[in-house]
Structure 1
């Protein structure tokens, strides 16, 4: 799958093989300095070596973070 196809699927909120989250999904950080914080997925930065996302913190202090998929859990 080339990058243009990945981008199309991402912005149409379609499933991408090997990627757990979609644009605007809510998640919780499971490790590191921001463990337990709620975030919104705002971009898929890379697919390899593992999917990595740009996320927006949902609480103070606000800001954007790069978080690998292994450190995120879906919110229920």
Structure 2
């Protein structure tokens, strides 16, 4: 059986990487984003970064796997 390179729980992409993943996916540059909020959260034993920000008249909401950088969930909506 092949072992994962890093044991579960120790791998973490970090806040800056989580931010850039979300911004890249949204097609928003860092200087266009405001009200940026990033939190590391434990969901059923999986560490995820919750990344929220606004750009223009849009509001973006991401959940990113903290170990792999995979985007688990993303939403964008008009900010009223």
TM-score for both structures, normalised by structure 1: 0.40
Q: Larger % of strand: which?
A: 2
Structure exhibiting the larger radius of gyration computed from Cα positions: 2
Output the TM-score relative to the length of structure 2: 0.39
